Structure 1
């Protein structure tokens, strides 16, 4: 069992799992994808039937707000809980807590529906969390859209504090 207890240990796990920086934030590596591909009518292109990654976030590197064309499943593994911020197409907002403390309302798994703008963060700045994420049909950067704070503040003004924490001011090059 992995036990993430310090920043140095997090760096060891990143190295042992062979993770690299993700454009949305955090560190990741695709671990699995289906053997088969198929034409996906939503993407208008060929996609794996599914993909799965390891993903680590820490207090200094959130998963910045983005949107996918397909559902994404999140599976909590270890250390600090992660908050997944969901901005639904109908204008509503929800914060979902992934973690092991089920008594306090944390969930071990969560599905982010296709078309939802979402990002995630570890609330404890000195901590981090390890999850896996699966997308079906499989993840492809052509099906991925990052957002800036300015793009979201007009539509979700009540969530300005969250948006300022987990959305880029300016998209990375």
Structure 2
């Protein structure tokens, strides 16, 4: 299937951080995690489709996020860690090349992702406790370059020069 087919059949909508998404699941029950002292679902899960023109811009969540590869081209998840280091993980179907089918981004890690080829990638992302925009922080280039100067190339690719008003929700 083509990118447009996935967007149509999965009923995906534009995502504020880039790409297209739709929340698919969330737990039936709520609780109040000590990390935010506000009611959250136990988990949430989305379909998330990215292409080379629409990456996932650098952002941070207060909770762990699990990424699951489904279809399309390999995608790299770039992580800027709280200790000042950086890492990257490739999700994709080529296990013999070291690609992975799933990956956990730890709470508090700044992450962005980009498709590696001139195509698209379909993944799912699950967050526990469940995703809420109050737990979401998006970053601009100036802020990240001050903290991670050695990561200039990827920051200039995946961080906004200026955060669009509709990205902060």
The question of 1:60 aligning with 2:50 is answered no
The question of 1:42 aligning with 2:35 is answered yes
Q: Following TM superposition, where does structure 1 have runs of at least 4 consecutive aligned residues deviating by more than 2 angstroms? A: none
How far residue 132 of structure 1 moved from its aligned partner, in angstroms, is: 0.3
- Deviations, residues 52-108 of structure 1 (Å, cap 9, x unaligned): 000000000000000000000000001100000000101110010001111111010
- Separation (CA, whole Å) in 2 of partners of 1:165 and 1:21: 19
How does 1:115-130 map onto structure 2 within 5 Å? 115-124=108-117, 126-130=118-122
How far residue 171 of structure 1 moved from its aligned partner, in angstroms, is: 0.5
Q: 2:153 is paired with a residue of what secondary structure?
A: helix
How does 1:52-131 map onto structure 2 within 5 Å? 52-124=45-117, 126-131=118-123
TM-score, scaled to structure 1: 0.94
1:22 alignment partner, one of 10, 15, 19: 15
- Deviations, residues 96-154 of structure 1 (Å, cap 9, x unaligned): 00011111110100000000000000022x20000000000000000000000000011
How far residue 10 of structure 1 moved from its aligned partner, in angstroms, is: 0.7
- Separation (CA, whole Å) in 2 of partners of 1:102 and 1:157: 32
TM-score, scaled to structure 2: 0.96
Q: 1:65 is paired with a residue of what secondary structure?
A: strand
Gapped runs of 5+ residues in structure 2? none
- Separation (CA, whole Å) in 2 of partners of 1:159 and 1:25: 20
- Separation (CA, whole Å) in 1 of partners of 2:95 and 2:150: 28
